[in-house]
Chain A
Amino acid sequence: MRADNEMCIQRVRIVFTFFAKNPRQVKGNPFLTDNSQLNLWPASLRGFSQRLTKRLERIAAAMELLLTAHSDWVITGKNDRIIMETETWDFTEILNILEQQGFRAEEFAITVEYTRKWGVL
């Protein structure tokens, strides 16, 4: 098939959550694991702060990497996550670049959605 003969638009959505949904997925830092570990002691609160800082720093680094490599993004900030969306960069290339720069699978979630390119069947 000719490379320019595309029949669909690919939308990639990368989600960086601030907290791990499933702590068992986490292999040590930098992911924040479990709020219940705080135990309401000042020291654990500082530990929480450090882990959160590390996690947010990690997300910022991933964002910088993606923004440097590609300019067409919509970035949405929610209470507990950052969502980056693009329709102009292939998801396999995004995965490659994140992997090459040392970002592990559990640090982000990626979803792919296709739509028709023009009003076909």
Chain B
Amino acid sequence: MSNQVVAKTTIPTGGWSDLWKKEDWWAVWLGLGIVFAAIVAWIFGSSIKSIAISVPAWTHFSEAIVYLQSKIGNFLLLYIAFLLVFSLALKILGYKLKEFIPGFSVIFILGTAVSIFGAWNWAKKYNLEAPLVALFLGIIISNVLPVPKWLDTALRTEFYVKTGIVLLGATLPFTLILQAGPVAFSAASVVAVTTFLTIYWTATRVFKLDKRFAATLGAGGSICGVSASIAIGGSVKAEKQQVSVAISIVILWAVVMVFLLPAIIKAWGIPAGPGGAWIGTSEFADAAGMAAASSLNEQAIKIFTLMKVVGRDMFVGLWCFIMALISITKWERIDGSTKPDKKEIWYRFPKFVLGFFLASAVITILVAFADTSTAKAITAKIINPIKELRTWAFIFTFLSIGLTTRLKELTSVGWKPFAAFTTGVAVNVILGYIVSVVVLGQYWVTIK
């Protein structure tokens, strides 16, 4: 028997339908779909290179114009390709395409402008990399101009970054994940547990905040940002307003860190490897961390991903289970509370991580069975184009972060939770530096 009565706005969830009703799974389908499309095109002697656009460096504006004119057809193809795959997903997820299509068109045009600007030698000279410019441009627009409501549908920060991370998997050898993953997990766990306990202790002992609120704040500052706050918030039954406050503080600090960490890394001359690892332990959100790492280089992106995705994100389900258990057995009982189910570990597991692993494994196997010349062809016709598409997905992410960061809304959170979280930030950044740069710096330099 499975009988359903539906009323008004709430729609049912759970079961197999999650495979097409959850954004997380769609990031897997789209990311892997692109990877398989690239492989199929290569098998049939073709390539997806025509839509994988990378704007070359330029000095005079006329060079950029000439390039744009010569590649206008490719830009159009890229726009159509992204529009089709994202529209398919969002339509099934229940969003209105009449809002998404114009919204995504704006994001794509802004993304193109940012990519061209980021390739300008003058901008490079002043460290105005495309990710930071995209983020900054988005923040300026959303906080100065009235952003139309229909644009919100296209601002799918999480969706773009998760799709980008699945694509990133295809550019990362699986052997590297197996080799560096345990190191990343150990380092990230030391920093995450210490940060969590610091925020929790400060919030409950110093500021006398509710334990559930403290756990929600602690999770946001230590595990994986907003995703962790909402997951732990649900597990421990924190109030809606408490979760909203935690999200606001996480976003506020994540945006600060996007600019602060790369600036310090560059100012102190920290190599990209340890720099990426530091961002991986001390940035609070995947999308924001990716923006920070992207402003360094490819090595920083890879090591950031290992640290954040493999070292921290993967274990959010386990954290939820533990916190729910503590909440039920140690803290005051809420009516209707039931013992947490071990299934929660899988339920909360970020599914895009599976796509990341699978994409990496598929390409690694493909390369492993190829001779030298075929391996070179795979790199040129599959891996490099995927890398360019991944960069575009991240540009959409960074613009979306900026366009959804409404500073006025984020700053009205109350000083106690902010102070408790900030204490954790201080510990996190210092400990992250010690672990990633001082202790493991030499190791991360060798990981390329």
Chains A and B form a bound pair: yes
A residues near B, CB below 8 A? 1-3, 5-8, 10-11, 14, 71-79, 85-88, 90-92, 95, 98-99, 104-105, 108-116, 118-121
B residues near A, CB below 8 A? 1-13, 152, 155-159, 225-226, 229-231, 233-234, 237, 239-241, 243-245, 247-248, 250-251, 254, 284-288, 333-338, 400-401, 404-405, 409, 412-414
Q: B338 contacts A121, CB within 8 Å?
A: no
Q: B157 contacts A120, CB within 8 Å?
A: yes
Q: Which 8 A-B pairs have the closest CB atoms?
A: A110-B336, A77-B3, A114-B230, A121-B285, A7-B247, A72-B8, A105-B335, A7-B244
* Chain B residues whose C-beta falls within 8 Å of the C-beta of A76 in the assembled complex: 2-4, 12
The CA of A77 and the CA of B11, in the complex, are separated in Å by 14
* Chain A residues whose C-beta falls within 8 Å of the C-beta of B7 in the assembled complex: 71-75
Q: A90 contacts B285, CB within 8 Å?
A: no
The CA of A77 and the CA of B250, in the complex, are separated in Å by 38
Which of B1, B10, B159, B241 lies in contact with A86, CB distance below 8 A? B10
Q: A11 contacts B13, CB within 8 Å?
A: yes
Q: A119 contacts B4, CB within 8 Å?
A: no
Which of A5, A8, A90 lies in contact with B412, CB distance below 8 A? A5
Please judge, given known A-B contacts A110-B336, A115-B230, A120-B157, whether A8 and B5 are in contact too, CB under 8 Å.
no
* Chain A residues whose C-beta falls within 8 Å of the C-beta of B412 in the assembled complex: 1-2, 5
Please judge, given known A-B contacts A8-B243, A118-B404, whether A87 and B9 are in contact too, CB under 8 Å.
yes
Known: A73-B8, A76-B4, A85-B13. 11 other contacts (CB 8 A): A1-B413, A6-B240, A8-B233, A72-B9, A73-B7, A73-B10, A110-B336, A113-B234, A115-B230, A119-B155, A119-B159
Q: A121 contacts B5, CB within 8 Å?
A: no
Q: B237 contacts A91, CB within 8 Å?
A: yes
The CA of A11 and the CA of B234, in the complex, are separated in Å by 9
A-B contact pairs, 25 of them (CB 8 A): A1-B245, A1-B248, A3-B241, A5-B244, A7-B247, A7-B251, A8-B240, A10-B243, A14-B336, A73-B5, A73-B7, A76-B2, A76-B3, A78-B2, A90-B240, A95-B334, A110-B336, A111-B338, A112-B233, A116-B226, A119-B158, A120-B251, A121-B226, A121-B288, A121-B401
The CA of A17 and the CA of B284, in the complex, are separated in Å by 39
The CA of A3 and the CA of B2, in the complex, are separated in Å by 37
Question: Please, which residue of chain B has its CB at the minimum distance from the CB of A110?
Answer: B336
Please judge, given known A-B contacts A1-B412, A8-B230, A118-B404, whether A75 and B4 are in contact too, CB under 8 Å.
yes
Which of A71, A74, A110 lies in contact with B4, CB distance below 8 A? A74
Residue among B1, B2, B229, B244 with the highest chain A CB neighbour number at 10 A: B244
Residue among B8, B155, B245, B335 with the highest chain A CB neighbour number at 10 A: B335
Which of A78, A87, A108, A110 lies in contact with B10, CB distance below 8 A? A87
Shortest CB distance B33–A (Å): 21
* Chain A residues whose C-beta falls within 8 Å of the C-beta of B333 in the assembled complex: 105
Shortest CB distance B397–A (Å): 9
Shortest CB distance B87–A (Å): 15
The CA of A72 and the CA of B94, in the complex, are separated in Å by 18
* Chain A residues whose C-beta falls within 8 Å of the C-beta of B5 in the assembled complex: 73-75
The CA of A79 and the CA of B413, in the complex, are separated in Å by 44
Which of B234, B237, B247, B335 lies in contact with A120, CB distance below 8 A? B247
Q: A92 contacts B239, CB within 8 Å?
A: yes
Question: Please, which residue of chain B has its CB at the minimum distance from the CB of A2?
Answer: B412
Which of A73, A75, A121 lies in contact with B158, CB distance below 8 A? A121
Question: Please, which residue of chain B has its CB at the minimum distance from the CB of A67?
Answer: B7
Shortest CB distance B225–A (Å): 6
* Chain B residues whose C-beta falls within 8 Å of the C-beta of A118 in the assembled complex: 152, 155, 404
Question: Please, which residue of chain A has its CB at the minimum distance from the CB of B413?
Answer: A1
Shortest CB distance B16–A (Å): 14
The CA of A111 and the CA of B13, in the complex, are separated in Å by 13
* Chain B residues whose C-beta falls within 8 Å of the C-beta of A86 in the assembled complex: 10
* Chain A residues whose C-beta falls within 8 Å of the C-beta of B231 in the assembled complex: 114
Q: B158 contacts A78, CB within 8 Å?
A: no
* Chain A residues whose C-beta falls within 8 Å of the C-beta of B226 in the assembled complex: 116, 120-121
Shortest CB distance B407–A (Å): 12
Question: Please, which residue of chain A has its CB at the minimum distance from the CB of B288?
Answer: A121
Q: A72 contacts B10, CB within 8 Å?
A: yes
The CA of A10 and the CA of B239, in the complex, are separated in Å by 9
Which of B11, B12, B285, B336 lies in contact with A105, CB distance below 8 A? B336
Shortest CB distance A108–B (Å): 5
Shortest CB distance A84–B (Å): 9
The CA of A5 and the CA of B337, in the complex, are separated in Å by 28
Which of B230, B244, B405 lies in contact with A6, CB distance below 8 A? B244
Q: B335 contacts A119, CB within 8 Å?
A: no
* Chain A residues whose C-beta falls within 8 Å of the C-beta of B338 in the assembled complex: 109, 111
* Chain B residues whose C-beta falls within 8 Å of the C-beta of A112 in the assembled complex: 233-234, 237
